[in-house]
Structure 1
Amino acid sequence: MEKLFDVVFEDADLLVINKPAGLVCHPTKGDQYSSLISRTRLYASEQFTPYIVNRLDRETSGIVVVAKNAATAGELGKKWEARAVRKEYLAIVHGDVIEDHGVIHAPLGKDESSRVVVKDCVRPDGSPAQTEWFVERRVKNELGSFSLLRVVPLSGRKHQIRIHLQSIGHPIVGDKLYGGDEDCYLALVENRLTEEQRRKLILPQQALHAEKVQFTFRGAEKSFSAEPEEWFVSFAAGG
């Protein structure tokens, strides 16, 4: 049997998963292994009904919190809506980020010039969005200069981290939609990604990992974290 996922934590109410990159949260086809929710249903084996609390993009790896009953799902859903959750991501971006720390204030809205329906962009009439970042490490290898960032979204807009980092000239390595050539995204969706495009992307998935979430649940402080996959760790270390 194919491995379903790595379990970070589990009790009577919560199942915390380290989602692998490349796995969608909700199904796009019938295969029972093709989405995280279908895998959690296999894992639950009718012992509980899983509710995904926080979703990640297909190519983003990391912490996903799953409620094991409707009451818990409702409580946690309200916390996410109220922004009462601290989330930290790791991102490998192109280039040397000169400053050690910064906060991006840039409103986001639909990119009406794009062929990709789901693509957003920075635009003055968009919704307010803020992203804080810290440089963890600067990396040089035969492919160029890169920076490993710790990123804290201070708002919760779609594709926020990816768009904000691209907007300051440091797109995420492997990002097929915001990395500079959106045809890479279309090629992925249409199953026609070429070897040349793969080489330009450098990494097999976008280098964005949801490393940590922290929140208060029923009077107790909860903090969950998970390491990125080996390809991410190796590249961030300069390999």
Structure 2
Amino acid sequence: MASDNDVMALLRQLDPSSCRVKIGKELFTRYGPDLVRRVADMGFDIFLDLKFHDIPNTVNKAVAAAADLGVWMLTLHAAGGSDMLRAARDAVDNSEHKPLLVAVTLLTSLAENDLAIQGVARSPLEQVQRLASLAQECGMDGVVCSAAEVSELRMLLRKDFLLVTPGIRPQGDAANDQKRIVTPAAAIQQGSDYLVIGRPITRAREPIEKLALIQQEISGVQ
């Protein structure tokens, strides 16, 4: 469990010009909107990763509240359906601050057998393609997807549609609970716009050095 002091100590080691900061469910549940404001005051753009998935009215109000916090990007589940996605779009369009909306297609912890257990008779790629197309139709700015699906989505979606890639593990790092993972260089080569890299940096003995190594790897393929 990361304490408030742990979070601030880590962020003081990082440069806002070199990375953005993801605040997910655990940190937001423990420390709330105040943490978002304090991280923003440090100069970081914030990726608020709460993966909203609820009835359209509830998601509309939650997205409006997130926009009021001034976050840079936020997530919601594409599986929430077209009415929910459009309600989120309306909330951003009616807000003074307009964060990017990215829809989660399929969690990178899920594989084909997991979909079968849920009664989904499609491969992970087919499910991702279907949900990504829905997200684009409903006005999302992009989707969250595995880099394993990026090249296929690039052919399917608009060129300016953002592809945000979690499940990134530098060569030699443990996969942990992710099942569909790639290296930072491979993700960029395949067409990812943004990489979500958490534990490889936050659990590193020297986070700033780990970040620099990852950036060096990425710069070699751009």
TM-score (norm 2): 0.32
Q: Which has the higher helix share?
A: 2
The structure that has the greater radius of gyration is: 1
TM-score (norm 1): 0.30
